[in-house]
Amino acid sequence: MRIAYFDCFSGASGDMILGALLDAGVDLDALRGDLASLGVGGYSLAAERIRKQGFAATQFEVHIEAADKPHRHLKHIREIIEKGRLPDLVRQRAMAIFTKLAEAEAEAHGTSVDKVHFHEVGAIDSIVDIVGACLALDRLGVEEVHCSPIPTGSGTLRCEHGVMPVPAPATARLLRGVPLAACEEMSELTTPTGAVILTTVARSYGPVPAMVIERVGVGAGKREGKTRPNILRVLIGEAVSAGRLDDESDEVLVLEANLDDATGEVVGHVYDLLFAAGALDVYSSPIYMKKNRPATLLTVLAPPPLRETIESILFAETTTFGIRSHLASRHKLARTFETVETGFGPVRIKVGCRQGRVVTASPEFEDCREAAKLASRPLREIMDLAMRIWRSKNGGSEPA
């Protein structure tokens, strides 16, 4: 799966996002052609490679030729987007972004979505930024977007309504539920346009996901940072699913839930559902919660893409009100299977290697149990026999 990771260590704005995606390889002329289908005139696009506080970056700009920036309602934005010759995913993403922005603006100003005037955000440059970002992601073949924690900055800013605190009212609402990063810059680092694009398209927030980087793009903002360069970086590449980073290391998702009223039968039932859904491991530990009540800590290890599936099972099948989660690096033995013939049936031997050397080996329990059952022999006898045969095939030596 092709993914994009936005590293917002210095915030994000619409022009920074587009600058980074252009820097990652999107052709500006192709973007111009795509945007021309919207039928919105009175502007021109420019992008140039610059040095921003010591770093190479692409600065994207929309030059407005029209004298006035019309105030548009959501219905006008929808008409523009529907009229354009856009791929379905681009149209859906762009409309979802503008709808989310309208909802945040309506809440901030105490009005309805239909009555929201987008002001600066409804102007030509922001239509270009939002639809352009969706087009750029599509042209790069990005299927999934991830994002770092987002810094908002601090202090105040001046907008059409006067002086406002950072983050601006709409920006603060757009960032609800999103991890924020601390930053000492006295400025607006993340704009409403930047916030709404990222919070609409991003699937997760945190460190760089397991991936093979193919392209790196850096977009420049217009302000000069005092403590850090005003740039936004995007990493484009192929996602590496759990168990595929390499044979001896990967990244797993750890999810935990405290259950203070779950019976053993319910916990066992949840185990079965979690393993069937693709969990790598599930285990429980006895704990004591408030008022010294005995309870169960249920822990699940799963591939990161299964987060939503695992959480849905835990919320639906248990009484937990919250799930903790974090990504964890995992070092493991590279695993291969070899089959030996025991005379009572085939048995697979799981072989664990580290740096090319065999570290351990063990017979598969289910294979041994089936052979023992068919031969009416003790299970331990079949397990020992399978290991002796495997050792003899491998020079008779014990694993290193």
**Rounded-to-integer distance, Cα 347 and Cα 387, Å:** 9
Mark the ranges of the chain whose per-residue pLDDT is less than 70. Answer: 66-71, 109, 115-122, 159-161, 241-247, 396-400
CATH 3.30.70.1380 in the chain is located at: 249-331
Which strands, in side-by-side order, build the sheet including 281-288?
281-288, 294-302, 249-259, 324-331
Residues 351 and 361 sit within 8 Å (Cβ to Cβ): yes
pLDDT score for 150:
94
pLDDT score for 20:
97
pLDDT score for 242:
44
CA atoms within 13 Å, Cβ hemisphere of 203: 15
pLDDT score for 126:
82
**Rounded-to-integer distance, Cα 233 and Cα 217, Å:** 6
Task: Give the count of beta carbons closer than 10 Å to the beta carbon of residue 106.
Answer: 18
pLDDT score for 388:
94
CATH 3.10.20.300 in the chain is located at: 334-393
Per-residue pLDDT tens over the stretch 191-243: 999 999 999 999 889 889 888 899 999 999 998 888 889 999 999 998 875 44
Look up the CATH number of domain 249-331. 3.30.70.1380
CATH 3.10.20.300 for the 334-393 domain, yes or no: yes
**Rounded-to-integer distance, Cα 335 and Cα 288, Å:** 37
Rounded to two decimals, what is the model's pTM?
A: 0.62
